[in-house]
């Protein structure tokens, strides 16, 4: 069942020189989760932060940490991110070598487990692991950078996953990440997403703009223009 929309600002678009204050500010502005993008310069062409930074940020908010790992190999680092304070840990099947084993490891650490689907990764790959996951994250950009344009082919993937999740009867969040703004959030939610990552759209304009940025996204999430969905979907 699709849940009420939760917004997960990605701190990738925050001011890295004052990350603690940024996390506190976006929490007070109304963030539901804090999305943490971890990149290794190998699995994706960018380098961000590691478990020490996640741990340091933990005392700046009580909101759930939604940790998106874009690192390979991923298994050796799962325990470090769990200990650092991650609530959900999401992994890419391509980060391998064994998705099922990685998800088992996350659950054994007592954390929520997520699978991330790149734009070219088919939705079917989550079916064999539905019993292990709490979240599916659909990438609507290629991972690595904030501020990229939304890829419309994510929309039919979200709709297909909504059907798969509902048919399973399991409580699995359906999250979307990349290029989310006031134009794209409505179609994404209409397609079936119930968690939305927003980096640039959350942090643009600095701390005084954050409450307005998140409020505008919430309003836009409820407003669906069918014509806009069709246009984005290439129909």
Residue 192 interacts with which of Zn ion, ligand DX5, none, CB < 5 to 8 Å by class = none
Exactly one of 27, 40, 173, 177 is catalytic; name it.
177
Q: How many CB atoms lie within 10 A of CB 58?
A: 16
Q: How far is the CB of 16 from Zn ion (least distance, A)?
A: 15
Q: Is 179 in the site for ligand DX5 (CB under 6 A)?
A: yes
Could you say whether residue 37 binds Zn ion (CB under 5 A)?
yes
Which residue's CB atom is positioned nearest to ligand DX5? 199
Distance CA 84, CA 225 (A): 41
Q: Report the number of secondary-structure helices (H) and strands (E) in the chain.
A: 9, 8
User: For residues 10 and 66, what is the distance between their CA atoms, to the nearest angstrom?
Assistant: 9
Residue 206 burial (10 A CB sphere; 0-12, 13-18, 19+)? exposed
E strands, the chain, in order: 6-9, 34-39, 65-70, 88-91, 112-117, 135-139, 173-177, 195-198
Rule CB under 5 A: say whether 111 interacts with Zn ion. Answer: no
- The listed partner (Zn ion, ligand DX5, none) that binds 187, CB under 5 to 8 Å by sort, is none
CB of 144 to ligand DX5, least distance (A): 5
Contact residues toward Zn ion (CB under 5 A) are 37, 68, 177
Contact residues toward ligand DX5 (CB under 6 A) are 10, 12-13, 35, 37, 68, 141, 143-144, 146-148, 177-180, 197-201
């Amino acid at each position: 069942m699709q849940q009420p929309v939760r917004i997960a600002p990605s701190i990738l678009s925050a001011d890295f020189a004052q990350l603690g204050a940024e996390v506190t500010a976006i929490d007070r502005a109304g963030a539901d989760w804090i999305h943490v993008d971890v990149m290794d310069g190998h699995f994706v062409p960018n380098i961000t932060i590691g478990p020490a930074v996640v741990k340091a940020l933990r005392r700046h908010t009580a909101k759930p940490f939604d940790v998106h790992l874009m690192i390979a190999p991923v298994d050796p680092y799962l325990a470090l991110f769990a200990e650092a304070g991650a609530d959900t840990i999401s992994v890419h099947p391509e980060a391998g070598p064994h998705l099922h084993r990685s998800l088992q490891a996350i659950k054994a650490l007592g954390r929520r487990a997520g699978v991330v689907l790149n734009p070219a990764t088919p939705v079917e790959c989550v079916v064999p692991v539905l019993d292990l996951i709490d979240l599916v994250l659909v990438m609507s950009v290629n991972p690595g950078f904030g501020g990229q344009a939304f890829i419309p082919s994510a929309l039919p993937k979200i709709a297909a996953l909504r059907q798969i999740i509902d048919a399973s009867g399991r409580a699995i969040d359906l999250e979307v990440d990349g290029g989310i703004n006031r134009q794209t959030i409505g179609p994404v939610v209409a397609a079936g997403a119930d968690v939305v990552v927003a980096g640039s759209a959350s942090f643009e304009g600095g701390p005084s703009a954050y409450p307005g940025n998140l409020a505008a996204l919430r309003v836009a999430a409820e407003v669906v223009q069918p014509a806009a969905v069709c246009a984005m979907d290439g129909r």
